[in-house]
Copies of this chain bind each other. A is one copy, B any other.
Amino acid sequence: MNLKQLSQHLNLSQTTVSRALNGFPEVSEKTRERVLQAAKKLNYSPNARAKGLATGRAQAIGHVLPISDQHEMVNPIFGDFIAGAGQTYAKEGYEVVISLVRDTEQEQAYRSIRSRGSVDGIIVHGPRMADSRIPLLSELGMPFVVHGRASDVTLPYSWLDTNNSRAFRRATEFLLDLGHRRIALINGLEFMDFAFRRREAYVSALTDRGIAADPALMRSDEMTEVFGYRCARDMLRDPAPPTAFLVSSMITAIGVRRAIHEAGLQMGRDVSVITHDDDLGYLKNGHDVPIFTATRSSVRSAGARAAEMLLHLIRTPGAPPQTQLMEAELIIGSSTGPAIQR
Contact = CB atoms under 8 A, between A and B. Distances in A.
Interface of A: 1, 43-50, 52-53, 58, 60, 67-68, 71-76, 78-80, 82-83, 86-87, 90, 95-100, 111-112, 115-118, 222-226, 229-230, 251, 254, 258, 261, 280-284, 286-287, 291, 300
By secondary structure, the A interface counts as: mixed
A283 B224 CA distance: 6
A47 B116 contact: yes
B224 A115 contact: no
A292 B199 CA distance: 33
Nearest to A116: B48
Contacts of A230: 287
A276 to B, nearest CB: 14
B79 A67 contact: no
30 contacts: A44-B115, A45-B112, A45-B115, A45-B116, A47-B115, A47-B116, A47-B117, A48-B117, A49-B58, A60-B118, A67-B86, A73-B79, A73-B300, A74-B79, A74-B281, A76-B79, A76-B280, A78-B79, A86-B100, A90-B100, A96-B99, A97-B97, A97-B98, A222-B282, A223-B282, A224-B283, A225-B282, A225-B284, A229-B286, A261-B261
A199 to B, nearest CB: 20
Contacts of A226: 284, 286-287
